[in-house]
Amino acid sequence: MAQLPLLPSITNYTTSTFSTTSSSVSSSTSSVSSASTETSISSACISISSALSKKSSSKRAEKSKKKKSSSSKKKHQKKEDPISSAILTEDGIKIRAKTSSSTSNSNSSTPNPYSLSNSTSNVNSTLTINTSTTSFRSSTDSHLETASLISCVTCLSDNPANDSQGSNNNSHTTTSVNGQLPDNVVIPYGRILNAKYIDPIKKNNLIEIVFAKPRRHDVIPKKLTVSIENQYLNGDLLDEIMDRSYKNTKRNRSILVVINPFGGKRKAKKVFMSKAKPLLLASECSIDIAYTEYIGHGIKIAQELDIDKYDTIACASGDGIPHEIMNGLYRRPDRVKAFNKLAITQIPCGSGNAMSVSCHWTNNPSYATLCLIKSIEVRVDVMLCSQPSYVDQFPKLSFLSQTYGVIAESDINTESFRWMGSARFELGVAFNILQRKKYPCDIYVKYAAKSKNELKSRYLKHKTRESLRFQDELEEQQQGQLYGVIDGEAGYVPDPGSVTEEDFHIKYPFHEGVPNDWEKVDSNITDNLGIFYTGKMPYVAADTKFFPAALPCDGAIDMVITDSRTPFTRMAPILLALDRGSHVLQPEVIHSKILAYKLVPKLTNGLIAVDGEKFPLEPIQVEIMPRLCKTLLRNGVFVDTDFDSM
């Protein structure tokens, strides 16, 4: 690694010292240390609390009394916390009944009568802590908005997630929920982060699991010791649990986390430390952290990082950093190796988190981290952009979108309103549409599906093909043809395939002009252009499903165009349909699948935005680069957009 310039800003966290100590005692002490290490948020807490009256401080004193007495109770209880019996079901680990920890016979297969009667009488009332991966909560911006508030509250609470905030130590205390879960609760495999034998020598059926437990808007790691009753399992019980918990997923990822401390409302570091890091460490991922220090630093980090050291780059940022990372890797002489080895993903910590919403199906940082841990590596298409200013050095990759006109102006020109969060973008769009601003240009397109009917049938064909390919890969691997072994541990992991230098080949070089088989979009429309937006992911913001027909690797870009002359009475319902994605069905909206395009602006003032970043107002030529980049997708697909049924 050409690491020297990076060394000061990379912090290494290994998981070898992942703390397994329990529990209530350390969590109560940790609340003190986390409160003292908090900086910005705790000072916000202080100012909020000082603004509140003495009444609240006396309440706090009362609360802390209660807390002390409850923590001493907990200390007292600790010895007696019963260990639950549990069985492995198809969906997860089902808690049956408590057995006394002191008397529990870890090898006993005799069902506890209490457990039996309970399980039979409660067959229909089985509780599930979110049953499957598809039931992860899909959240909106509001989660991010509330994230800082939650941190604010929890930095004074017993949330173990705050234990190491702002510190560089690598030990995490995960508190235990022994004796706290009701019978018949199922902890889904999708939530299980880690498991180990209580007695690694005897390897009996006493297992400690670490799982992601919902807490307010988030998930946090919790430990639970269970005595597994299943007797029919052949082979190693722990392997069975881990295989089921990491089906199709790589375990123990080696992650370079790139944090943009400036991202979002400048809370990225705090959000990562409190919401994401505890989950990553609990699942025994190893993490290094790099902080971006200036605009474009992500490119340099990616150019210089040690590829051999990582399999994942997680951008704790908005969409700007994944864009930079991808372009840094693209500029490396060993880019083939880089794009084969590394998956680029996002932990949503910015104001625009389209990658997380589209790929992890959530904008919530802790749920996105859980998805990252459990996701499937998939190769996705990216787009290659060329403009006169930079094409002769390096063309630029874009994973999300390019836009000219109303959307570009609304995103970039409202930078100074960053404090408003995502609302700044929506206000900007509404303002520009009301003004009926037009953005004249010429557009030349190489179509893949021009009409809406063609687009729909192409979409359905590719969606089926993608899911079949995925099924085939799984079947092949399950037949033992491709058997993934990671860090000495075996598991079935779908192979996303690899790229060669051929895949970087540019089909339509910028200087060769527009090829003959490209069509010019009607000048009557382009001279009065309102919105020009091309994209590769369904969501461009948490509540904006701009490209509902986007697929990860259908080899095409989705293009949306509107005419600024469309009356506001028609534009209003179009804009109001953006959250559902049904705007593309409106007759006034042009919606096509394309392979490449060139846009030549006729304005001298204005801008083009690529992946939400400001690009020069110059002719831009873009082509699809199929399956170039690896990312992590929940269940191996983009979030469902319901486009099939529209």
Q: Going along 568-641, which residue ranges are E strands?
A: 590-601, 608-610, 613-615, 620-633
Of 294, 480, 569, 604, the one binding ligand ATP (CB under 6 A) is 294
Region binding ligand ATP by CB under 6 A among candidate stretches 184-192, 328-336, 350-358, 638-646: 350-358
Beta bridge partners of 629: 380
Whole-Å CA distances, 636 to 383, 461, 555, 626, 630: 20, 17, 17, 17, 11
Whole-Å CA distances, 394 to 208, 597, 613: 51, 18, 17
* Cβ-based nearer residue to ligand ATP, 160 or 263: 263
Task: Provide the minimum distance between the beta carbon of 291 and ligand ATP in the complex, in angstroms, as a whole number.
Answer: 7
Bridge-based pairing state of the strands 608-610 and 218-228 = unpaired
Q: Does 160 bind ligand ATP (CB under 6 A)?
A: no
Which strands make up the sheet holding 92-99, listed edge to edge?
Answer: 186-188, 92-99, 83-88, 218-228, 206-215, 192-197
Contact at 8 Å (CB) between 592 and 445?
yes
Element (H, E) at 46: helix 40-51
SS3 assignment, position 491: strand
Task: Provide the minimum distance between the beta carbon of 565 and ligand ATP in the complex, in angstroms, as a whole number.
Answer: 30
* Cβ-based nearer residue to ligand ATP, 400 or 571: 400
Q: Does 139 bind ligand ATP (CB under 6 A)?
A: no
* Cβ-based nearer residue to ligand ATP, 381 or 611: 611
Q: Three-state SS across 103-155?
A: CCCCCCCCCCHHHHHHHHHCHHHCCECCCCHHHCCCCCHHHHHHHHHHHHHHC
Q: How far apart are CA 286 and CA 254, in angstroms?
A: 5
Q: Does 260 bind ligand ATP (CB under 6 A)?
A: yes
Task: Provide the minimum distance between the beta carbon of 592 and ligand ATP in the complex, in angstroms, as a whole number.
Answer: 26
Instruction: Give helix then strand counts, H and E, for the chain.
Output: 18, 24
Q: How far apart are CA 163 and CA 25, in angstroms?
A: 13
HSE toward the beta carbon, residue 15, CA cutoff 13 A:
19
Nearest residue to 394 (alpha-carbon basis) of 504, 315, 474? 504
Of 92, 188, 221, 263, the one binding ligand ATP (CB under 6 A) is 263
Q: Does 321 bind ligand ATP (CB under 6 A)?
A: yes
Contact at 8 Å (CB) between 381 and 513?
no
Q: Does 422 bind ligand ATP (CB under 6 A)?
A: no
Contact string 168-197 vs ligand ATP (x = CB under 6 A): ------------------------------
Task: Provide the minimum distance between the beta carbon of 323 and ligand ATP in the complex, in angstroms, as a whole number.
Answer: 8
Q: Which residue is nearest to ligand ATP (CB)?
A: 318
Task: Provide the minimum distance between the beta carbon of 79 and ligand ATP in the complex, in angstroms, as a whole number.
Answer: 48
Region binding ligand ATP by CB under 6 A among candidate stretches 290-298, 450-458, 530-538, 573-581: 290-298
Contact string 210-249 vs ligand ATP (x = CB under 6 A): ----------------------------------------
Q: Does 84 bind ligand ATP (CB under 6 A)?
A: no
Q: Does 491 bind ligand ATP (CB under 6 A)?
A: no
Task: Provide the minimum distance between the beta carbon of 631 and ligand ATP in the complex, in angstroms, as a whole number.
Answer: 16
Task: Provide the minimum distance between the beta carbon of 415 and ligand ATP in the complex, in angstroms, as a whole number.
Answer: 7
Nearest residue to 264 (alpha-carbon basis) of 363, 375, 159? 363
Q: Which sign does the torsion angle of CA 242, 246, 247, 249 carry?
A: negative
Active site residues: 319
* Cβ-based nearer residue to ligand ATP, 250 or 297: 297
Of 292, 356, 363, 582, the one binding ligand ATP (CB under 6 A) is 292
* Cβ-based nearer residue to ligand ATP, 173 or 403: 403
Contact string 301-320 vs ligand ATP (x = CB under 6 A): ----------------xxxx
Of 262, 399, 470, 643, the one binding ligand ATP (CB under 6 A) is 262
Task: Provide the minimum distance between the beta carbon of 34 and ligand ATP in the complex, in angstroms, as a whole number.
Answer: 25
Q: Does 274 bind ligand ATP (CB under 6 A)?
A: no
* Cβ-based nearer residue to ligand ATP, 263 or 636: 263
Q: How many residues bind ligand ATP (CB under 6 A)?
A: 22
Beta bridge partners of 486: 489
Contact string 580-619 vs ligand ATP (x = CB under 6 A): --------------------------------xx------
Q: How far apart are CA 3 and CA 304, in angstroms?
A: 6
Contact at 8 Å (CB) between 213 and 179?
no
Q: How far apart are CA 267 and CA 562, in angstroms?
A: 36
> Buried b vs exposed e over 467-486: b needs ≥16 C-beta within 10 Å?
eeebeebbeebeeeeeeeee
Of 190, 221, 278, 352, the one binding ligand ATP (CB under 6 A) is 352
Q: Does 409 bind ligand ATP (CB under 6 A)?
A: no
DSSP 412: H
Q: Does 264 bind ligand ATP (CB under 6 A)?
A: yes
Sorted by sequence, the CB contacts under 8 Å of residue 145 that are 6+ apart come out as: 421
List residues binding ligand ATP (CB under 6 A): 260-264, 292-297, 317-321, 324, 350-352, 612-613
